[in-house]
């Protein structure tokens, strides 16, 4: 009963602290760590059942990594794209290199510097996904690229944890057992074969009962974590492998959604335990390194990403917004350091140092990401050095066009087909270099540019343009475009897009000819079909065949259902 009362008090305090962090618009992970500090021996001294909390926190870490593994199917490298792969690997290399040099300059040993440098490279996929979802930026160019290089980081985590878990007490190449590596490869290889040939048929059996599927998922995830631990590896690797093995299952989304509430509860206890184990005896010695490392993450990491994306030809705003998403360390950073402590490579002081860096960078980056659109105008003129001035292939001197399309995406693809049927001269404007390359290969007139750049808009000769179409969902961007077009060409047809009724009304008031609202178009189209086809099933089946054909074409082009809509 004492353990029950202790946990109840800790959870009650967590609710209070988490509520405060929520009001401050901070990720709840900050509240969990602060709760751990409050209930630690330095303050309220509530934590007595440390071993029980350790077991619960280990379950939380295993479930977290199991769910991460579910999203890392073997197809993921292809899906993240070239820019995400280059940026992700580049950021890992440069951040770890500079982090190691800074650590050595601060007087840390080689082993400690190695751990710190690697910990600084990870950014929080969970926090970034949540913030991008809140901003409805998951489907924007920078959002897609950010998710891509965060997945690259997650893959790197898998490899790194495997290597770390292969070392015994001392971190040296002598302690890396060839037998461990071979047994690990054979073990993982065996489960890969099981995931391909055995699990698909078994998962169909388990999925017949939702309760049984949930039970199987827990048993599979924790069972493999325990097996890997028994074989001499870390349970973290076992949990990741368990998730990856199920990632090809058609039920992996359902498994992931069912496991999240369980994961959230146990991972809360991990961060509370982490906070309770922080050492403050030498806080004066930790504060200066913590500030230096935090500034490196908050400023240095975004600069690295902006440089890499600038070299790849992306606009400065895209690079700036993507760079801010790596301006914090991850829950994986804390797990890595905790693993180092349990392996005897690190002390609790280093765990405290990295936890302080985590609190500072997660808090700071949250505000930077949420208010990036307001921060960018103040820094825009200084960020031009990160943008390539060379005109990219596919750009041409501007001529007179009947139609100008701003933003080539899913909607833009359909509109382009209509423009071709009109047999009018049209131009596509987009700020994704890869899109420009694809359009130029198809001999479609295109120009690389950012609609938010007033100077760029002024360069476009829109005086004789008869129609302006924007598929860009940002309200402020469309307002700017409408105002600019109205100043020089009051007769032009202006079509923009919106996901909000109030904003759509404002766009109409400012001069939009028509506002596309995708959420309502589906229902409107279905209603027209019913009016036209009545109850004639043959006509609906013909429509079905046409739709399936269109979907296959879209899938071939790499289009997926927008993530932002999945999260609503």
State the DSSP string of 521-532: HHHHHHHHHHHH
Give the residue among 211, 214, 235, 232 at the shortest CA–CA distance from 223.
235
Q: Which residues neighbour 227 within 8 Å (Cβ) at sequence distance 6 or greater?
A: 238
Does the model's pTM come out above 0.85? no
> Rounded to the nearest 5°, which phi and psi values hold at 439?
-65, -40
Give the number of other Cβ atoms within 10 Å of residue 438's Cβ.
Answer: 17
Give the number of other Cβ atoms within 10 Å of residue 325's Cβ.
Answer: 30
How many Cα atoms within 13 Å fall on the side-chain side of residue 552? 6
Do 408 and 435 touch, CB atoms closer than 8 A? yes
pLDDT digits 0-9 by tens, 512-535: 999 988 878 777 778 888 888 888
Spatial separation of the C-alpha atoms in residues 224 and 65, rounded to whole Å = 12
Spatial separation of the C-alpha atoms in residues 309 and 332, rounded to whole Å = 25
Helix then strand count (H, E) for the chain reads 26, 6
* DSSP code, position 402: S
Do 130 and 144 touch, CB atoms closer than 8 A? no
Do 533 and 539 touch, CB atoms closer than 8 A? yes
Spatial separation of the C-alpha atoms in residues 518 and 524, rounded to whole Å = 10
Q: Which residues neighbour 293 within 8 Å (Cβ) at sequence distance 6 or greater?
A: 99, 102, 116, 120, 353, 357
* DSSP code, position 171: -
* DSSP code, position 469: E
The residue whose two tokens read 């500030």 is: 291
Give residue 393's pLDDT: 39
How many Å separate Cα 162 from the centre of its chain? 23
Annotated domain spans of the chain: 56-383, 403-516
Write out residues in the chain with pLDDT < 50, as ranges. Answer: 1, 168-176, 391-397, 562-568
Give the residue among 227, 267, 225, 229 at the shortest CA–CA distance from 244.
225
Give the residue among 481, 453, 452, 446 at the shortest CA–CA distance from 467.
481
Q: Which residues neighbour 92 within 8 Å (Cβ) at sequence distance 6 or greater?
A: 121, 152, 153, 156
Buried b (16+ CB within 10 A) or exposed e, 185-205: eebbeebeeebeeebeeebee
Residue ranges of E strands in 292-445: 403-406, 426-430
Strand 493-497 versus strand 514-516 pairing type: parallel
Spatial separation of the C-alpha atoms in residues 7 and 27, rounded to whole Å = 22
Give the number of other Cβ atoms within 10 Å of residue 23's Cβ.
Answer: 8
> Rounded to the nearest 5°, which phi and psi values hold at 384?
-65, -25
- Six-digit token pair at 251? 């039920």
The residue whose two tokens read 């951040």 is: 95
Q: Which three-class secondary structure state does DSSP give residue 547?
A: helix
- The hierarchical CATH code for the domain 56-383 is 1.20.1530.20
Give residue 386's pLDDT: 84
pLDDT digits 0-9 by tens, 362-417: 888 888 988 888 898 888 888 888 877 654 434 444 567 899 999 887 677 778 87
Give residue 557's pLDDT: 60
* DSSP code, position 299: I
Task: Note the CATH architecture for domain 403-516.
Answer: 3-Layer(aba) Sandwich (3.40)
Give the residue among 408, 424, 414 at the shortest CA–CA distance from 521.
414
Do 235 and 284 touch, CB atoms closer than 8 A? no
């Amino acid at each position: 009963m004492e353990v029950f009362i202790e946990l109840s008090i800790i959870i009650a305090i967590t609710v209070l602290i988490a509520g405060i962090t929520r009001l401050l618009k901070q990720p709840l992970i900050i509240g969990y760590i602060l709760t751990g500090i409050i209930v630690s021996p330095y303050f309220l001294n509530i934590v007595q059942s440390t071993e029980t909390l350790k077991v619960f926190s280990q379950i939380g870490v295993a479930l977290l990594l199991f769910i991460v593994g579910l999203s890392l199917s073997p197809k993921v490298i292809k899906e993240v794209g070239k820019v995400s792969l280059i940026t992700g690997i580049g950021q890992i290399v440069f951040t770890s290199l500079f982090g190691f040099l800074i650590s050595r300059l601060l007087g840390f040993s080689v082993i400690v510097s190695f751990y710190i440098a690697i910990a600084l490279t990870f950014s929080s996929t969970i926090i970034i996904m949540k913030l991008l979802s809140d901003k409805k930026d998951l489907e924007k160019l920078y959002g897609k690229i950010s998710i891509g290089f965060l997945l690259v980081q997650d893959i790197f985590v898998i490899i790194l944890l495997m290597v770390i878990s292969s070392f015994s007490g001392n971190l040296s190449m002598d302690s890396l057992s060839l037998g461990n590596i071979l047994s690990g490869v054979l073990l993982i290889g065996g489960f890969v074969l099981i995931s391909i040939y055995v699990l698909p048929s078994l998962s169909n059996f388990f999925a017949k009962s939702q309760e049984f599927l949930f039970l199987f998922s827990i048993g599979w995830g924790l069972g493999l974590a325990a097996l890997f631990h028994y074989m001499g590896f870390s349970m973290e690797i076992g949990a990741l492998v368990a998730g990856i093995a199920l990632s090809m299952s058609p039920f992996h989304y359902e498994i992931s959604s069912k496991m999240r509430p369980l994961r959230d509860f146990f991972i809360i206890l991990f961060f509370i335990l982490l906070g309770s184990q922080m050492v403050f005896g030498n806080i004066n010695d930790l504060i200066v390194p913590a500030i230096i490392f935090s500034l490196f993450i908050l400023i240095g990491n975004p600069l690295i990403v902006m440089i890499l994306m600038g070299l790849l030809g992306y606009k400065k705003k895209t690079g700036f917004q993507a760079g801010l998403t790596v301006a914090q360390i991850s829950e994986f950073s804390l797990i890595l350091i905790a693993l180092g402590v349990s392996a005897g490579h690190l002390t609790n002081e280093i765990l405290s140092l990295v936890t302080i860096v985590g609190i500072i960078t997660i808090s700071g980056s949250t505000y930077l990401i949420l208010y990036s659109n307001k921060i960018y105008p103040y820094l825009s003129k200084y960020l031009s050095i990160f943008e390539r001035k060379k005109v990219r292939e596919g750009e041409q001197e501007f001529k007179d066009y009947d139609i100008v399309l701003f933003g080539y995406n899913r909607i833009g693809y359909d509109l382009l087909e209509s423009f071709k049927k009109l047999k009018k001269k049209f131009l596509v404007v987009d700020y994704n270099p890869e899109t420009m390359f694809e359009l130029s290969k198809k001999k479609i007139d295109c120009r690389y540019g950012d609609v938010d750049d007033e100077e760029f808009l002024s360069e476009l000769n829109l005086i004789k343009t008869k129609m302006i179409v924007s598929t860009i969902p940002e309200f402020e961007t469309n307002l700017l475009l409408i105002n600019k077009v109205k100043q020089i060409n009051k007769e032009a047809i202006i079509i923009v897009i919106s996901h909000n009724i109030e904003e759509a009304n404002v766009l109409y008031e400012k001069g939009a000819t028509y506002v596309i609202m995708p959420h309502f178009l589906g229902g409107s189209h279905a209603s027209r079909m019913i009016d036209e086809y009545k109850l004639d099933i043959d006509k609906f089946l013909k429509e079905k065949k046409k739709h399936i054909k269109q979907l296959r074409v879209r899938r071939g082009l790499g289009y997926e259902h927008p993530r932002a809509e999945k999260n609503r």
